[in-house]
């Protein structure tokens, strides 16, 4: 028990019993890990993702009781509405919305097809806007939790990730505003910013022409696991925290530097990102 408390994970296993949790992007990575963690704590789940087959596999692994799977492309407004409508039809309420669905990209802005920016913003930012819009009346009724999974890229401009950083900054500003608008309505808003986390987001990231990157340029084994990340996010929901910044050096320390030593952070960020294999920053300098 002491170990669990030191690691910041709740020992009350069933504190989510009966709560209805909607999770987008639930077919892999952090979203899938969140589904497993919330289910373990007794929640009812409405899972959305484009890959319905992967959601159904997860449902079978967890057991079919109390799990709704809905094919959802969050870049399409009507599909987001459908996810929320089906959740209400199935469970009658929504207590927690986790806006997790997202895509990344990797290219210098100078070389980037503008369609890539549209695609990233449509999924990351507008997907959050759409799901929040349709779920908000139900969250207000339950005095529930609205959660956005952003990234350290929502605090720090990451080179070669211009569209990704822009979308994450936008989500943070959007959710901060929603929090203030409903400051006296009992709505809880959490903005969670993982650092580099092991998932498939880099494998399916878009490159300059909009095609998939295919291989991750980073050492995934050295990153925080999706399971560990999910556990910390669920615990932050339980405590109704407003922000959660994960990892120390890439997360908390970088945000600190950005506030007090922004020029130093710019240089450190450039140096760090230029060390990636085949970094576009190196190509720019013909290194």
Q: For strands 145-149 and 67-71, give the pairing.
A: unpaired
Looking from the CA of 257 toward its CB, the CA atoms found within 13 Å total: 17
**Rounded Cα–Cα distance for residues 73 and 121 (Å):** 13
**Rounded Cα–Cα distance for residues 247 and 153 (Å):** 13
**Rounded Cα–Cα distance for residues 245 and 28 (Å):** 21
**Rounded Cα–Cα distance for residues 187 and 6 (Å):** 28
**Rounded Cα–Cα distance for residues 82 and 123 (Å):** 16
Q: What is the DSSP letter of 111?
A: G
**Rounded Cα–Cα distance for residues 277 and 217 (Å):** 6
Unique residue bearing structure tokens 């007090």: 260
Please report the beta strands in the chain, taking only residues with DSSP state E, as ranges in sequence order. 20-24, 44-49, 67-71, 96-99, 145-149, 188-193, 243-245
Q: Give the residue numbers marked as catalytic.
A: 164
**Rounded Cα–Cα distance for residues 73 and 83 (Å):** 10
């Amino acid at each position: 028990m002491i170990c669990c408390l030191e690691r910041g994970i709740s020992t009350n296993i069933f504190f989510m019993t009966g709560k209805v949790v909607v999770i987008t992007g639930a077919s892999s990575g952090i979203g899938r890990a969140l589904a497993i963690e919330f289910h373990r704590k007794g929640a009812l789940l409405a899972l959305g993702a484009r890959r319905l087959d992967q959601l159904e596999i997860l449902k079978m692994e967890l057991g079919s009781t109390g799990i709704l799977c809905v094919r959802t492309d969050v870049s399409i407004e009507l599909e987001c509405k459908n996810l929320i409508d089906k959740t209400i039809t199935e469970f009658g309420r929504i207590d927690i919305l986790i806006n997790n669905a997202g895509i990344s990209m990797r290219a210098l802005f100078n070389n980037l097809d503008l369609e890539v920016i549209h695609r990233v913003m449509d999924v990351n930012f507008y997907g959050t806007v759409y799901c929040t819009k349709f779920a908000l009346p139900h969250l207000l009724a339950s005095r529930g939790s609205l959660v956005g999974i952003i990234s350290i890229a929502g605090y720090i401009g990451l080179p070669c990730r211009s569209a990704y950083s822009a979308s994450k900054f936008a989500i943070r500003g959007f959710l901060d505003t929603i929090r203030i608008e409903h400051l006296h309505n009992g709505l809880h808003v959490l903005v969670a910013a993982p650092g580099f986390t092991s998932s498939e987001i880099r494998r399916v990231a878009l490159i300059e022409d909009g095609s998939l990157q295919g291989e991750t340029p980073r050492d995934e084994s050295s990153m925080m696991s999706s399971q560990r990340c999910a556990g910390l996010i669920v615990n932050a929901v339980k405590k109704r925290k407003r922000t959660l910044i994960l990892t120390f050096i890439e997360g908390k320390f970088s945000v600190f530097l950005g506030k007090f030593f922004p020029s130093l952070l710019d240089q450190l960020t450039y140096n760090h990102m230029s060390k990636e294999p085949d970094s576009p920053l190196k190509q720019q300098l013909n290194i």
